[in-house]
A and B are shown apart, each in its own frame.
Chain A
Amino acid sequence: MNSNTIKENKTPNKKIETMNISGAEAIIHCLLAEGVDLIYGYPGGAIMPVYDELYKFQDRLTHILTRHEQGATHAAQGYARVSGKVGIAMATSGPGATNLVTGLADAQIDSTPMVCITGQVGSHLLGSDAFQETDIVGISTPVTKWNYQITKASEIPEILAKAFYIAKSGRPGPVLIDITKDAQFDTFDFSYEKCTGVRSYKPVPKPNTNAIAEAAKLINEAKKPMIVFGQGVILGEAEAELKQFVEKAGIPAAWTILGVAAMDSEHPLNVGMVGMHGNYAPNVLTNECDLLIAIGMRFDDRVTGNLETYAKQAKVIHFEIDPAEINKNVTSDVAVLGNSKETLQLILPLIDKKNHDEWHNEFKKRYDIEYNEVIKNDIKPTKEGLTMGEVIEEINIASKNSAVIVTDVGQHQMIACRYAKFNQTKSNITSGGLGTMGFALPAAIGAKQGAMDREVVAIIGDGGYQMTIQELGVIFQHNIPVKIVVLNNDHLGMVRQWQELFFEKRYASTVMVNPDFVKIAEGYHIESKRISERSELKNTIKEMMASKNPYFLEVKVEKEDNVFPMIPTGASVSDIRLK
């Protein structure tokens, strides 16, 4: 252990002080003071002083050696998304740092709190094209909420405190701190105080009572109101408030792919997913409602389809924490700025109790159409080959809707988000805004470590799986009991689908020639199985869910299935296709 005695940081804002320690050791104390106990990372020359301290502090800080720095970022993201805490990824300079970029971009667009720490060459070498020097501050600027290069040890406490504050306050996001090697070696008198504000940064706008009153008026007057909620509800921890609001106002509520777990899937007023592969009713009725209430969502183009024809007949209320999102894509009649928990609490007493039964029936009618044309064939297929939908359905049954579902990107992601059911928040971990193939396997590791008491199931395509497959090493080494389900269609299925529909079946580079996935898992000593028959499905899923260990399951599914419904790019939400 370390020779300098540090007082335990029991009271969060208490000042911690210690004399003459190295920058590297100071970094560890900052992390401990912020309540960090888990770091994902990969060592190398420029970050070695910090790793040396990690060695000394291993009883208090666990470092997980991912097999690639990208894996470290996605694991940190998975951890952050299930726990609501800040995820930490660490890497060396140069290639280590550039390998973080995809995860940073993913966390930035999906508002995930993450702090990345990179080593940098010594400050005397900066700008000289030194060995493993890259301008990671320059490279990461557009994909970080904030970043900073530390060149003096004495800057460490204040900058790291600021990093944590910025990453998790307001609309969360990733922060990268680059620390030169000399700043890690130099010693100084350390003292730490948590950051409570930055003078140029206003994380949460104050709710405007006029806007809230105006919004309440529109809600009370509406005949055909509809809610679309997003991840802002989860990040604002406003799930209970959302439920109260929906129930009191009696308004059908749809969700974006990142918002799904904010509301119980089986709630009678839950009308499903909006967007490109969302449900028929909420997409079509977006263009029939008289009031669209957006809560903590940002009108992504995958949600809105063609903006020229999006909800033009409706008044729009936008509950949002980030002023830059107001009128960015869709113009709102009333913008309710603020934290969703606070604004929903404020509006609740102003809302009349109602039930819009007739209007709700319009959703049910269209659900029935979708059920007969699409859903039935997806989850209760009669054809020979297995479908992705029926696999998800069996997982729902076996987990009783309580699992954390981590998905990769592609057809399996859309199917999983359409059919997975949730009865708890912070349960759908997917790469929404960036659509990062390779996200799921490392994110599932982080999700499991962030919620050890929960079942974590990763749903991954055969393509994306091979982008970060090396993280099986982490699962094996630490015996992290995640359940990995590869839905193998031997294709880059989503791209193949587009080629079929929009490129006259010219299948350029979308057939996957795959290895024996079971053998690979066996190579990592992970219990594994492959199935291709419906008769094996139920029991295998049960067996997988009952296992206390990591488990790999490959399901051979139909090779050329398509995901429907679908809003073709550039089309209107109401032109959603059922086939």
Chain B
Amino acid sequence: MEKNRYTVSVYSENNVGLLNRISGIFLKRHINIESLNVSKSEIENVSKFTVVIFTDHETARKIVGQIEKQIEVIKAYFHLDDETIYQESVLFKIDSSLLFDERNIQNIIKDCNATIVTVSRDFFVLAKTGRKFEVDEMYDKLKPFGIMQFVRSGRIAVTKAEMPISVLLAEFKENK
């Protein structure tokens, strides 16, 4: 079956141990998690997991079903890249001398739409938000100059289609 990159979005209660329970479902099917982000969501007291995996449609569907049946999960979805608006953020820590010695660096910052977060005597920090390939491009450009530290956040995504979680929560309450 054809494999694709899927963004799995999980709305859940904010409880200790739930991350372990959810990641275990990927583990059970031997699926590598490419990126993971946990944050609050648009609904008060509801957390949102954003998980990126590379697999086929059927596996993604079954995994989402098994995630959704966990007690503290309200709803889970999965989407292809073109069904979502998604971004990642990165930070680069670079030797300060380069900022003044190498004109190229300043061009890279401009070309890549990166921002300078901080500059100190020894190092400066660049931030960039974008799609993975854009971030990778910037990484490749900076690499020859020496990167002291690099970190990339998990993917964050919103879907083009609606995710009616509040409606669902109201429904759960009714069923009680």
Chain A residues near B (Cβ < 8 Å): 137-138, 141-142, 145-149, 166, 196-202, 322-324, 326-328
Cα distance, A198 to B17, chains bound together (Å): 17
Q: Contacts A142-B28, A323-B65, A328-B62 given; indicate if A200 touches B21 (C-beta within 8 A).
A: no
Chain B contact-residue range equals: 20 to 34
Q: Which of A137, A166, A197 is B172 in contact with, Cβ under 8 Å?
A: A197
Whether B69 is near chain A, meaning CB under 8 Å from some CB there, is: yes
Q: Contacts A200-B72, A324-B66 given; indicate if A141 touches B20 (C-beta within 8 A).
A: yes
- B51-83 near A? 1/0 per residue, CB < 8 Å: 000000000011001101101111000000000
**Interface contact A166-B69, CB-CB below 8 Å:** no
Cα distance, A15 to B20, chains bound together (Å): 34
**Interface contact B16-A149, CB-CB below 8 Å:** yes
A-B contact pairs, 17 of them (CB 8 A): A138-B17, A138-B20, A141-B21, A149-B17, A197-B176, A199-B13, A199-B169, A200-B12, A200-B71, A201-B71, A201-B72, A201-B172, A323-B69, A324-B66, A324-B68, A327-B61, A328-B65
- On chain B, the residues within 8 Å of A202 by CB distance are 172, 175
Whether B110 is near chain A, meaning CB under 8 Å from some CB there, is: no
**Interface contact A142-B24, CB-CB below 8 Å:** yes
**Interface contact A324-B175, CB-CB below 8 Å:** no
**Interface contact A166-B71, CB-CB below 8 Å:** yes
- On chain B, the residues within 8 Å of A198 by CB distance are 71
Known: A142-B21, A323-B65. 20 other contacts (CB 8 A): A137-B17, A141-B17, A141-B20, A141-B24, A142-B28, A197-B173, A199-B13, A199-B169, A199-B172, A199-B173, A199-B176, A200-B172, A201-B71, A201-B172, A323-B68, A323-B69, A324-B66, A327-B61, A328-B62, A328-B65
**Interface contact B12-A324, CB-CB below 8 Å:** no
CB B31 to nearest CB in A, in angstroms, measures 14
Q: From B25, which residue of chain A is reached at the shortest CB distance?
A: A142
**Interface contact A197-B16, CB-CB below 8 Å:** no
- Looking at chain B's contact residues, the main secondary structure is helix
- On chain B, the residues within 8 Å of A148 by CB distance are 17
- Looking at chain A's contact residues, the main secondary structure is mixed
Q: From A144, which residue of chain B is reached at the shortest CB distance?
A: B21
Q: Which of B78-124 contact A (CB under 8 A)?
A: none
CB B22 to nearest CB in A, in angstroms, measures 10
- On chain B, the residues within 8 Å of A199 by CB distance are 13, 74, 169, 172-173, 176
- On chain B, the residues within 8 Å of A149 by CB distance are 16-17
**Interface contact A324-B65, CB-CB below 8 Å:** yes
**Interface contact B74-A200, CB-CB below 8 Å:** yes
- On chain B, the residues within 8 Å of A138 by CB distance are 17, 20
Cα distance, A328 to B65, chains bound together (Å): 9
- On chain B, the residues within 8 Å of A146 by CB distance are 71-72
Q: Contacts A141-B20, A142-B24 given; indicate if A324 touches B71 (C-beta within 8 A).
A: no
Cα distance, A137 to B16, chains bound together (Å): 10
Q: From A200, which residue of chain B is reached at the shortest CB distance?
A: B74
Q: Which of B12, B20, B61, B71 has the most CB of A within 10 A?
A: B71
CB B132 to nearest CB in A, in angstroms, measures 30
Q: Which of A141, A142, A323 has the most CB of B within 10 A?
A: A141
Cα distance, A328 to B13, chains bound together (Å): 26
**Interface contact B175-A197, CB-CB below 8 Å:** yes
- On chain B, the residues within 8 Å of A327 by CB distance are 61
Cα distance, A326 to B71, chains bound together (Å): 18
Cα distance, A524 to B157, chains bound together (Å): 65
Q: Which of A147, A201, A328 is B17 in contact with, Cβ under 8 Å?
A: A147
Cα distance, A146 to B65, chains bound together (Å): 16
Cα distance, A506 to B68, chains bound together (Å): 45
Cα distance, A198 to B65, chains bound together (Å): 19
- On chain A, the residues within 8 Å of B21 by CB distance are 141-142
Q: From B73, which residue of chain A is reached at the shortest CB distance?
A: A200
Q: Which of B148-176 contact A (CB under 8 A)?
A: 169, 172-173, 175-176
Cα distance, A137 to B20, chains bound together (Å): 10
Cα distance, A149 to B62, chains bound together (Å): 28
Cα distance, A146 to B16, chains bound together (Å): 12
CB B88 to nearest CB in A, in angstroms, measures 28
Q: Which of B18-60 contact A (CB under 8 A)?
A: 20-21, 24, 28
- On chain B, the residues within 8 Å of A200 by CB distance are 12-13, 71-74, 172
Cα distance, A208 to B72, chains bound together (Å): 24
Cα distance, A141 to B23, chains bound together (Å): 11
**Interface contact A322-B172, CB-CB below 8 Å:** no
Q: From A138, which residue of chain B is reached at the shortest CB distance?
A: B20
Cα distance, A149 to B21, chains bound together (Å): 14
- B115-151 near A? 1/0 per residue, CB < 8 Å: 0000000000000000000000000000000000000
CB B44 to nearest CB in A, in angstroms, measures 13
Cα distance, A452 to B175, chains bound together (Å): 37
Cα distance, A493 to B52, chains bound together (Å): 46
**Interface contact B71-A145, CB-CB below 8 Å:** yes
CB A446 to nearest CB in B, in angstroms, measures 25
CB B25 to nearest CB in A, in angstroms, measures 8
CB A158 to nearest CB in B, in angstroms, measures 13
Cα distance, A199 to B172, chains bound together (Å): 6
- On chain A, the residues within 8 Å of B72 by CB distance are 146, 200-201
CB B20 to nearest CB in A, in angstroms, measures 5
- On chain A, the residues within 8 Å of B74 by CB distance are 199-200
- On chain A, the residues within 8 Å of B68 by CB distance are 323-324
Q: Which of A142, A149, A166 has the most CB of B within 10 A?
A: A142
- On chain A, the residues within 8 Å of B73 by CB distance are 200
CB B61 to nearest CB in A, in angstroms, measures 8
- On chain A, the residues within 8 Å of B169 by CB distance are 199
- The 10 A-B residue pairs with the shortest CB-CB distance, nearest first, are A197-B176, A324-B65, A200-B74, A146-B71, A324-B69, A142-B24, A201-B71, A199-B172, A141-B21, A324-B66
CB B91 to nearest CB in A, in angstroms, measures 30
Q: From A165, which residue of chain B is reached at the shortest CB distance?
A: B71
CB A360 to nearest CB in B, in angstroms, measures 36
Q: From B174, which residue of chain A is reached at the shortest CB distance?
A: A197
CB B67 to nearest CB in A, in angstroms, measures 9
Cα distance, A326 to B68, chains bound together (Å): 13
Cα distance, A517 to B103, chains bound together (Å): 87
**Interface contact A322-B71, CB-CB below 8 Å:** no
Q: Which of A146, A147, A199, A327 has the most CB of B within 10 A?
A: A199
Cα distance, A328 to B12, chains bound together (Å): 23
CB B21 to nearest CB in A, in angstroms, measures 5
**Interface contact A322-B20, CB-CB below 8 Å:** no
- On chain B, the residues within 8 Å of A147 by CB distance are 17
CB B11 to nearest CB in A, in angstroms, measures 9
CB A47 to nearest CB in B, in angstroms, measures 21
- On chain A, the residues within 8 Å of B66 by CB distance are 324
CB B89 to nearest CB in A, in angstroms, measures 29
Q: From A196, which residue of chain B is reached at the shortest CB distance?
A: B176
Q: From B16, which residue of chain A is reached at the shortest CB distance?
A: A149
**Interface contact A322-B13, CB-CB below 8 Å:** no
